[in-house]
Structure 1
Amino acid sequence: MSPRKIIIDTDPGQDDAAAIMLALASPELEVLGITAVAGNVPLALTARNARMITEICGRGDIPVYAGADRPLARELVTAEHVHGKTGLDGVDPFEAERPLEPEHAVDFITRTLRQQPEGEVTLCALGPLTNIAMVLERAPDVAARIKEIVLMGGGFFEGGNITPSAEFNIFVDPEAAKQVFGAGVAVTMMPLDVTHKVLTTRVRVERLRANGNRPSLAMADMLEFFERFDEEKYGTDGGPLHDPTVIAWLLDPEMFSGRQCNVEIETGSELTLGATVVDWWKVTGRAENAFVVRDVDADRFFDLFIERVGRL
């Protein structure tokens, strides 16, 4: 089979970096481009970080495009308290050899969806959904051309991580999330309920470091910085490795389980802004609009991740 074509929309972030590495190490996937969005840190840093990661992986052939520098209707909220001031604290920042592409991320995504055969491109959303919402708003005709949107965001039984009810990616731009979930495109959602089950334990990070190649060593250093916040917050050995679940789903969906649900996004309440209201028990009668993942085989996930990053 030919590789599955994907565009990675991202706001790196150490866990975003892990997702990009997993994708670039996997021959089952063809990364058409990486688009940056403001989120974990401002856009200038997310765009630089994405280029850094491709160079660390020896994949300077992958183009990176800068997109939205703020949410659709709100001021930007960032997460330096988790990711550090660069977004990739744990490694020294540098300027990649390949420059940022001049085309705007929204234009790149739109153009690519129109140029590729219908139903062949999957959008992998690792940050706030601003870029993707802008694509759907400006070019509604391309919605039918998207194979699937696989996103990391939201939570239901697990609650939130930036507020008691909201997960960070959705909270940053709830209006964009509302638009994406309502667009009629096939959506697979990786919420905190599943990402909190893939913890970067000391043993797993040591296994990754033992690969010895540049990407593995860089990722191990980043994870040792990244996990300190969640270890203190949750009292766990390691922190959740959120974003690579999106890529792992494309590579080995059998390690996950979930169900089709209706998902609505709260945009009006100050108390629950950005909450993903998941009708897991199908009590509302609203139409299903997303496959919501709830469980994962964590050991199988890390076996895949560590082995693939060791190939780079």
Structure 2
Amino acid sequence: MLAMLLALAASPEELELVMISVTYGNVPLKSCLTNVVSMFHVLDKELEWRRSQGKPEGFGGLKAYKPIVAIGPEHALEEEILMEDGFHGTDGLHGVHEAHPHLSPEETWKSLFEDGVPRPDEDPSYYTYFTPSKTPAHKEILRILKEEPENTITICSVGPMTNLALAAAEDPETFLRAKEICVMGGAVEVPGNITPVAEFNTYADAIATARVFALTSAVPSSTMPVVPQKIANLPAYPEKLSKRLNLTLFPLDITTPHLLNRGYFFDTVTPHVKEGSPLATWINHIMGGVFRQIERMVGDDPEPGLSLHDPLTVWYLLTIDDPAWKLAKNAPEDIRVETSGQWTHGMHVGDLRGRKRAPGAGSAVGVSGDTVAIDEIPGDEFGWLSAKRGNRINRLAESPGFEKCAPDLMSRLFG
């Protein structure tokens, strides 16, 4: 939610939010869609309130563009049981709809996405801020990538990657028209947050993540997951594609230290709540639930803070020209996703043995004196040292500053 709000609060020159591709997450798909629509409802009330108070409205991106909202399947490619963790409550927003019903829209909005649901006599004003679609999300992704110029669309994946995997499977060449895929997911050199080794988004649909990651390889089949029979209708990729996918990874390694601390948050938001800001009231309730949950899990010493996992991917797009963003020293890395391990499902696996990868074409001299290609290392059965096989992931390791992200977020939302 904070990531979407940050994107909508950006200036029109910084970012155009073209589409919100809704997926399941900590809660089922329908709850996630309810929360997205509620966000637009709250923002409509917020802008109306700011106008009435003579305050700067902000949210230039919200007013300039009308993003498509489309939904995907209700569960992962392989599993029909959601990997819910209960962290954010049964509605995904710590009970905000029940606590503040005036900030939740009437359920007539469902007519925008479902047949047979009656429309209101007059469309509510918040409908003007988004374009609902009854087309499956992955098909809308492909349509946008076809219609927009190549290398202009960036996709921020801040949930399970099911929608992206479906788009890539249906038309991989169109999917490769994306400028960059920014993925919040995984834990490379740190512990996981849903299992000892796995991060939630990847764990929730490890096969989808593995399939998308495979497009970063010159030989996608070298890292494709073993496909269970029930999803065998998803085709393999062609062995030869026009290019590799440009994928930037934001694992827990870099996202976790970017904290929105409890004291700073409440110091910043409380004056706006007292003034009557609908957005501040809404976010204040949600974040209050977050901090209480963190306290229950780890106590309140040190001060609880929410790691800005998802907002960091949007902040990256807003500050992408800052030279402080740095990739891991061995980038691009061959990072693969475990899809079948009993204890390691969803784990991001890299080769930590420190051996050199095969240097590739034109780097060695054969017995006849001719220059030959070395694409493989003898005995490297799984292609970890291959010049062609294996994934090529750009993992971000440094940002413009742990201490800068939260203030910029809060300033853009309420400043």
When normalised by structure 1's length, the TM-score is 0.87
Is the 8 Å Cα contact of residues 83 and 226 (structure 1) preserved in structure 2?
Answer: yes
Larger radius of gyration between Structure 1 and Structure 2: 2
Check if 1:125 corresponds to 2:130.
Answer: no
| Counterpart in the other structure of 2:35 | 49
Output one character per residue of 1:8-51: Cα deviation in whole Å (capped at 9) or x when no partner.
Answer: xxxxxxxxx00000000011110111111112111111111111
Identical-pair percentage: 28
- The 3 A distance-change label for structure 1 pair 162 and 208 is same
Q: Tell me which amino acid in the other structure corresponds to 1:244.
A: P
Measured at CA, do residues 197 and 142 of structure 1 come closer, stay the same or move farther in structure 2, by a change above 3 Å?
same
Give ranges in structure 1 of 5+ residues lacking alignment: 1-16
2:215 to 183, 193, 198: 183
Q: State how far apart, in whole Å, the 1-side matches of 2:212 and 2:67 are.
A: 26
Residue 227 (structure 2) pairs with residue 163 (structure 1):
no
Matched, 1:308 2:412: yes
- Residue 271, structure 1, aligned to residue 343, structure 2: yes
Query: Does 2:265 match 1:205?
Result: yes
The answer to whether the Cα contact below 8 Å between 1:200 and 1:223 also exists between their aligned partners in 2 is no
**Distance change in 2, residues 1:302/1:169 (3 Å):** same
Q: Matches of 1:299 and 1:102 in 2, distance apart?
A: 41
Q: Which structure 2 residues correspond to residues 53-64 of structure 1 after superposition, within 5 A?
A: 53-58=39-44, 59=62, 61-64=66-69
Residue 6 of structure 2 aligns with which residue?
22
1:137 maps to a residue whose letter is A
Return the match for 1:294 from 387, 397, 405: 397
Which one of 39, 57, 72 corresponds to residue 25 of structure 2? 39
Measured on the aligned residues, the alpha-carbon RMSD in Å equals 2.2
Report if the CA contact (8 A) 1:21-1:57 is conserved: no
The structure-2 alpha-carbon separation of the partners of 1:90 and 1:305, relative to structure 1 and needing over 3 Å to count, comes to farther
Q: CA deviation at 1:167?
A: 0.4
Match of 2:79 among 70, 74, 78: 74
**Partner of 2:358 in structure 1?**
none
**Which whole-Å CA distance do the structure 2 matches of 1:43 and 1:292 have between them?**
29
Report the alpha carbon displacement of residue 288 of structure 1 after superposing the two structures with TM.
5.5
Q: CA deviation at 1:280?
A: 6.9
Secondary structure at the counterpart of residue 65 of structure 1: strand
One-letter amino acid of the structure 2 residue matched with residue 265 of structure 1:
V
Q: Which residue of 1 aligns with 2:105?
A: 95
Which residue does the alignment assign to 1:142? 174
Instruction: Give me the whole-angstrom Cα distance separating, in 1, the residues matched to 2:271 and 2:319.
Output: 22
- The yes-or-no answer on 1:238 pairing with 2:305 is yes
AA aligned to 1:119 is N
* Counterpart residue number, 1:247: 314
Contact 1:76 1:172 in 2 (8 A): no
Whether the 8 Å CA contact 2:259–2:406 is kept in 1: the answer is: no
Per residue, is there more strand in 1 or in 2?
1
Is the CA contact (8 Å cut-off) linking 1:37 and 1:66 kept in structure 2? yes
1:285 counterpart (385, 388, 391)? 385
Counterpart position of 2:238: none
Q: 1:33–1:63: 8 Å Cα contact kept in structure 2?
A: yes
Contact kept in structure 2, 1:90 and 1:224, CA below 8 Å: no
Counterpart contact for 1:90–1:223, Cα < 8 Å: no
Q: Which runs of 5+ in 2 are unaligned?
A: 45-61, 99-103, 114-132, 217-244, 356-383
| Residue identity opposite 1:238 in structure 2 | G
